[in-house]
Every structure is written in C-alpha cells, then in structure tokens.
C-alpha cells in the first residue's frame, strides 16, 4: 500500500474514532433522564455513577502513550474500537447502580485510549496541520453534537438500552474494518513531509506551566458544559419540552462547536497560536456568565458561545502540542495533556451533582464561569511569555 493511501485511510479511521469517542461518552448524560424515570432514582444520584467513567477517561490517558510505544498505535486504536463496543453492550445490560458504575468505569477506560493515540496518528499523517486538526475536531464535535439528539430519539423509540446497544455494535464493526484496511502504523514509511515544524522557545517550562493550568481549567469547563447541557436546556430554557426535542436543541448548540473547529483549523495555518488562544479564551467566561443568569434565547446564545469556545480550544491545544513538542515526544505529550485535562475534569460529575442540589444550574454554570476566567488569565500569560521569548525567525503557524 502506498504511503499516501495509508495516510488517507488512517486519517479516516482516526476521524471516525473521534466521533465515536465523544458520541458514546455522552450517551449516558441524556439517557440518564429516561433511566431516572424508569428506575425511580434521582438525577443527582444517577449522574454521580458516571464519575468513574470521566475520571478514567483522563487517568487512563497517561499510560497510553507508553503502551503505544510498546505495542504500536494501530494496535491501541483497534483496542479502543473493540473495548468501547463491548463496554457499550455492558452498560446496556446493567440493572443496578453498581452495574452502571462498573460498566461506565470500563467505558471510560476504553475511551481514554483515543485522544493520545488518535492525536499522534493525525499529526503524523497530516498533510496540512491546521486543516486536518480542524476536520478531525469537527468529527469529534459532530459525535458529541449528535449524541444528545440520537440518544433521545432512540430512547423514545426503542428504550434507553438500545441507545447503548446500537453504538456498541457500530464500534465493533468499525474496529473490524480498521484492522482490515489499515495493516500497519506507517510511521516507518517514506513520507513527503516531516510533519509540523517545532517552534523553539527560550523558556519552555514557563509556557508549559501556564498551558497546564489552562488545560486543567479547560477540562472542567468542557466536562461541566457537555455533561450538563441536555439537563440545562431541560430545566433552564423555560419551556416544557419532550426529551426528543430537548436532545435536538442540545445537538443544535453543539453544531456551532463544529463550525468553530473548522474556523480554528484554518486560523491555525495562518495566525500565531498564542493570539488565537487569547481570542478563544475570552468567550468562555462571557458565555458561561450569560447562561448562568438567563433563560430562553439568551440562555441558548450563552451556551453557543461556550460550546464554540471549548471545542475551538481543543483544536488549538492539539496544535500547540504539535508545534511546541518534538515528534519523538508527542505521543507521551498528548498522554500528559489529556491526563491533566480529563482526570481533573472527571470531578465535574460530582461537582454538577453537588452544585445542582445546592442552587440549580445557575450555580453550576457560574462555577464553570470561574474556571473560564482562569483559562483567560492563563491564555494572556501564555501570550506574554511567547511574545517575549519567541525568536523572530519562527513562523507563527504551519
């Protein structure tokens, strides 16, 4: 197989995996509304059962880079597809709180494989870094965007168990196709390009520090927003809507994130990353603040701003790792990046439950706005350090 064909196929399956990763992880936050109705358990107690899933999503990211170096990225991505599919079928079989907690934990462990592996494979096979990151981000966002609507529709028609069974089977089929169509990693084959050029900096540890702060705070706003979004619309919109329509509105909000990722992909190829970072960061506290004190159309506008910012930031963060970290360290760097972002953000689930009990979703969104302010401060610091230390000869973007 030619290197170009291998790269095209690899990028296709990396994109499919990204869509499935976000879709499956967000089935439960919508299905939980129907599960609560059928079991008689409260939303706070049921959503809390997903804590292990979201903690494992980040915690298990850390060793993935090292496992990929030993067993190969193709092997690890195949494990992702199969493990994710089997975990979905396991959640569908659960009938008790303990069963839900165990299978959701395993689902989170499988989900953790994708981002360190997929991001590294994408950067390795990308032809234009920003464009391919943007396209990959759109696949992931469309997975997240369609999760609420598709889950609601399947649940209304076939029951909540089917909302896990159908995606689980899709994951297994995709895994079989991937193993058949992508026979090798392809890293050792000759390529026309050497990947994105690394931007040299004089004080890398200072940049790493503020970037880590932004990653941790960004993980909290990402998880709080994406997990709570269907229930926020259900409670805060001010309309008594059926589950299917609530999920559809959530999907519409997520679509704006996809559009922002396409825009960010183009901007990454044209503008300096620290400049884009600051511009995106200001939108998060603005949107969360608006959403926390409003209902109806203003609430939706605030949520659109937040979702656009957090999903655009995903593209920028991945581009930063690709542009500031040498190629031989990228798999481990992506592991650390997602470990920091997703492990701490796993605390978003109990935080949502606690704050929702104390003051409703207005308090939940206000707390998320505080994390958004931290991101903005970190972005300004990153921009300042980068401007002071970047060599004038370094190109701002790919």
Q: What is the pLDDT of residue 64?
A: 86
298-329: pLDDT as tens digits: 888 999 999 899 888 888 988 888 888 877 77
Q: What is the pTM of this model?
A: 0.74
Stronger pLDDT, 133 or 51, i.e. the higher one: 133
What is the mean predicted confidence (pLDDT) over 77-93? 96
Percentage of the chain exceeding pLDDT 90? 32
Q: What is the pLDDT of residue 95?
A: 82
Please report whether residue 23 resides in a domain. yes
Please report whether residue 395 resides in a domain. no
Helix/strand/coil (H, E, C) string of 261-320? HHHHHHHHCCCCHHHHHHHHHCHHHHHHHHHHCCCHHHHHHHHHHHHHHHHHHHHHHHHH
Please report whether residue 132 resides in a domain. yes
Full domain range(s) for residue 154: 3-389
Please report whether residue 86 resides in a domain. yes
Please report whether residue 394 resides in a domain. no
146-170: pLDDT as tens digits: 887 789 889 989 999 999 999 999 9
The answer, yes or no, to whether residue 187 has pLDDT greater than 60, is: no
Residue 348 · residue 224 · CB < 8 Å: yes
Q: CA geometry: angle at 362 spanning 254 and 31, to 5°?
A: 50
Please report whether residue 396 resides in a domain. no
Tell me, what DSSP letter sits at residue 327?
G
Q: What is the pLDDT of residue 238?
A: 62
Q: What is the pLDDT of residue 190?
A: 38
Please report whether residue 397 resides in a domain. no
Q: What is the pLDDT of residue 393?
A: 42
Q: What is the pLDDT of residue 106?
A: 95
Please report whether residue 398 resides in a domain. no
Domain count, the chain: 1
pLDDT band at 234 (very low <50, low <70, confident <90, very high): confident
Residue 27 sits in a domain of what CATH number? 1.20.1250.20
């Amino acid at each position: 197989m030619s290197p170009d064909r291998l790269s095209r196929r690899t990028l296709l399956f990396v994109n499919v995996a990204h869509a499935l990763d976000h879709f499956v992880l967000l089935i439960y936050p919508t299905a939980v509304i129907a599960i609560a109705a059928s079991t008689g358990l409260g939303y706070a107690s049921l959503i809390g059962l997903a804590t292990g899933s979201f903690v494992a999503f980040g915690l298990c990211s850390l060793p993935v880079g090292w496992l990929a170096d030993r067993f190969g990225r193709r092997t690890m991505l195949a494990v992702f597809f199969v493990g994710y599919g089997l975990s979905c079928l396991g959640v569908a079989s659960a009938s008790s709180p303990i069963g839900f907690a165990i299978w959701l934990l395993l689902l989170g462990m499988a989900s953790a494989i994708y981002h360190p592996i997929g991001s590294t494979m994408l950067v390795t096979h990308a032809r234009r870094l920003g464009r391919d990151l943007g396209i990959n981000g759109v696949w992931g966002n469309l997975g997240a965007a369609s999760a609420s609507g598709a889950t609601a529709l399947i649940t209304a028609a076939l029951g909540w168990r089917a909302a896990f069974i159908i995606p689980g089977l899709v994951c297994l089929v995709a895994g079989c196709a991937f193993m058949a169509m992508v026979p090798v990693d392809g890293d050792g084959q000759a390529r026309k390009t050497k990947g994105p050029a690394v931007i040299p900096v004089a004080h890398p540890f200072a940049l790493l520090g503020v970037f880590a702060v932004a990653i941790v705070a960004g993980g909290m706003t990402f998880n709080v927003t994406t997990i709570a979004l269907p229930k926020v619309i259900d409670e805060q919109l001010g309309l008594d809507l059926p589950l299917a329509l609530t999920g559809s509105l959530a999907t519409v909000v997520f679509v704006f994130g996809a559009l922002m990722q396409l825009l960010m992909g183009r901007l990454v190829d044209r503008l300096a990353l620290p400049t884009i970072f600051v511009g995106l960061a200001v939108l998060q506290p603005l949107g969360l603040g608006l959403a926390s004190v409003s209902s109806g159309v203003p609430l939706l506008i605030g949520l659109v701003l937040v979702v656009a910012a957090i999903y655009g930031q995903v593209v920028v963060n991945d581009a930063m790792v690709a542009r500031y970290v040498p190629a031989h360290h990228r798999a481990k760097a992506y592991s650390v990046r997602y470990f920091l972002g997703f492990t701490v953000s796993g605390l978003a689930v109990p935080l949502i439950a606690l704050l929702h009990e104390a003051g409703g979703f207005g308090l939940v969104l206000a707390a998320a706005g505080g994390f958004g302010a931290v991101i903005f401060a970190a972005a300004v610091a990153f921009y300042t350090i980068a401007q002071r230390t970047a060599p004038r000869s370094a190109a701002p973007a790919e």
